[in-house]
Amino acid sequence: MSLIVVGSMAFDAIETPFGKSDKIIGGAATYIAWSASNFTSPIKQLSVVGGDFPKNELRLLEERGVILEGVQIKENEKSFFWSGRYHMDMNTRDTLETHLNVLGTFDPVVPESYQDCEFLMLGNLAPAVQLSVIAQLRERPKLIVMDTMNFWMEIALEELKKVIAEVDVLLVNDSEARELTHEFSLVRAARKIMDMGPKYLIIKKGEHGALLFHDDNVFFAPALPLEDVFDPTGAGDTFAGGFIGHIARTKDISYENMKTAIIFGSAMASFCVEKFGTERLRELTKEDIDQRIIQFQDLVNFDIELV
Ligand code: AMP
């Protein structure tokens, strides 16, 4: 039984008020795989890259237990490219360029060896691709988690709503939740989104943590206050990787376990932002992750007596 990760694998160019990167490795599925591989193996990756995507990057993922049979390599085409510029608060950003390249015509083929999928992580990419993957799986996975972004709300809203109706857990950030529902209150927005299909909703709020909604319950995971944030790119995907990685490791899809999973997600995201791109995720040890989970425990642990 395994975890399938679907999403973009890409080149990114990032500008922050403190620095600028050249074209570096990025993509939703790349971040998810680097993050989730700390918790579970194998990860079965489903994506597409061009001939320009470094083969060494693929080899490094394989060394982490990521199976690439479902990653198409279009030798004569270019990989997906995204560039963005962060504002001074490092929480909000503008997309400067999105070049879909190989992603524009991506027709995913789920390999036979992926059919044993227990957990499906639909990372950010075209909703039509996300739908096609769900449709190709003969048996419905135990849990389908989906991430998306405003880009797809703006150009493929109807298809996006169809995928949202099929999934168990939706992950969006606060501005995306508002854009999707036209509600300012996140509680109202959450209710509207859960009415669209997902039983669980995670709203990421960058440096202000993340909220997990289910029925009338809401649970909050903080983000770790960090002295330096270099690059928030991929933090959402890294969060998703920690979340689904923990669920796949424990095989427990209860609401209680999802609370723990969003703490793992937040811990992984806190590493991601410490360096540019995937750099920090590549050097993590189990001790680093354990230490950080303890920091999270200390951050929110308090005794209180009722008056
Ligand atoms: P995050 O910061 O978690 O929202 O994720 C940023 C990553 O998403 C970058 O590495 C981009 O390559 C990737 N990305 C940006 N726009 C898109 C898009 N429209 N579809 C798929 N992936 C995207």
- What does the DSSP 8-state code read for residue 196? T
- Cβ burial of 275 (10 Å; 0-12, 13-18, 19+) is middle
CA 247 – CA 241 distance, rounded (Å): 10
pLDDT digits (tens, 9 = 90+) for 290-302: 999 999 999 999 8
Q: Which of 47, 82, 171 to mutate to test the pocket of ligand 1 (most atoms within 8 A of CB)?
A: 82
Q: What spacing in Å lies between the alpha carbon of 182 and ligand 1's midpoint?
A: 23
* CA pair distance 238, 155, nearest whole angstrom: 25
Q: How many CB atoms lie within 10 A of CB 45?
A: 26
pLDDT at 19: 87
Residue 91 banded pLDDT, cuts 50, 70, 90:
confident
Averaged pLDDT, 144-162: 96
For the chain, what percent of residues have pLDDT higher than 70? 100
Average pLDDT score over residue span 51-74: 98
CA of 286 to the centre of ligand 1 (A): 26
Average pLDDT over residues 112-128: 97
Pocket test for ligand 1, best of 31, 78, 102, 124 (most atoms within 8 A of CB): 124
Ligand 1 midpoint to CA 263 (Å): 22
Rounded to 5 degrees, what angle do the CA atoms 159, 165, 171 make? 90
Atom of ligand 1 at shortest range from CA of 240: 3
Distance 23 CA to ligand 1 centre (A): 14
Q: Once rounded to an integer, what is the mean pLDDT over residues 155-177?
A: 97
Instruction: Please indicate whether residue 242, judged by its CB atom, sits closer than 6 Å to ligand 1.
Output: no
**pLDDT at 1 exceeding the cut of 80:** no
Residue 143 has pLDDT above 80, yes or no: yes
- Mean residue pLDDT of the chain comes to 96
250 Cβ closer than 6 Å to some ligand 1 atom? no
276: pLDDT strictly greater than 80? yes
pLDDT over 90, % of the chain:
95
CA-to-CA separations, 252 to 107, 119, 180, 256, 258, in angstroms, rounded: 32, 11, 29, 9, 8
Beta strands in the chain (DSSP E): 2-6, 10-16, 19-20, 24-26, 43-50, 66-74, 80-86, 93-99, 117-122, 143-147, 169-173, 200-204, 210-214, 217-221
Q: Which of 25, 61, 27, 26 is nearest to 44 (CA)?
A: 61
Question: Residue 307 has what pLDDT?
Answer: 86
Tell me the pLDDT tens digit for each residue of 2-48: 999 999 999 999 999 988 998 999 999 999 999 999 999 999 999 99
Q: pLDDT class for 94, splitting at 50, 70, 90?
A: very high
The residue behind tokens 């997309």 is 95
Nearest CA residue ID for atom 9, ligand 1: 27
